[in-house]
């Protein structure tokens, strides 16, 4: 059985709560990631995402000019925008539980901790890498017909008698 430690990214790039938002943005850009654990020492205290930063810079409640963004990036601390005490998993959490947690909460990533010490992170990219390996090396042995999800009801029901293909719905 696969567990979190099998696919996590160990020792992820982090920021501190008192770092300015600009530091978080630069680390996300340079590492090409969308979230950073926030730590004090090696203790996880939060997580900040690119969405958190966008919301802080583009608040509909505060009108400002674009040049003000630089001031915000330099002076607003990560702690003002991060999610404190994020949901976490341990290195021994079964991967199926991690995936369900991410799906159910619509998380793009989840920190991996031992106690309150950050040891890694699992992201959508880690899961996609695993899927690629499965597809390349052994997915043919899996009985996929037994694993298909039941069909979901369409969010946009098609009237009876109407064609059901996507091509026929384009206008």
**In angstroms, how far apart are the furthest CA atoms of the chain?**
63
Q: Residues near 96 by Cβ (< 8 Å), separated by ≥ 6?
A: 2
Q: Where are the beta strands (DSSP E) in the chain?
A: 9-10, 35-40, 43-49, 83-84, 109-114, 117-123
pLDDT averages per 10-residue partition of the chain, 171 residues: 94 96 94 96 95 80 63 86 96 97 96 95 95 79 52 46 42 35
pTM attached to this predicted model: 0.76
CA 4, 6, 8, 10 dihedral sign is: positive
């Amino acid at each position: 059985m696969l567990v979190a430690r099998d696919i996590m990214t160990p020792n992820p790039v982090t920021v501190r709560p008192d770092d300015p938002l600009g530091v978080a943005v630069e680390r996300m850009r340079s590492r090409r990631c969308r979230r950073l654990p926030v730590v004090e020492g090696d203790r996880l205290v939060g997580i900040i995402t690119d969405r958190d930063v966008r919301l802080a810079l583009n608040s509909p409640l505060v009108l400002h000019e674009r040049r003000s963004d630089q001031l915000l990036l330099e002076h607003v601390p990560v702690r003002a925008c991060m999610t404190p005490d994020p949901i976490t998993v341990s290195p021994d959490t079964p991967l199926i539980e991690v995936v369900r947690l991410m799906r159910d909460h619509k998380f793009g990533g989840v920190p991996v901790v031992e106690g309150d010490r950050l040891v890694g992170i699992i992201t959508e990219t880690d899961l996609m890498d695993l899927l690629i390996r499965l597809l390349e090396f052994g997915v043919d042995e899996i009985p996929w017909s037994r694993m298909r999800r039941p069909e979901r009801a369409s969010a946009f029901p098609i009237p009876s008698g109407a064609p059901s293909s996507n091509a026929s719905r384009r206008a």
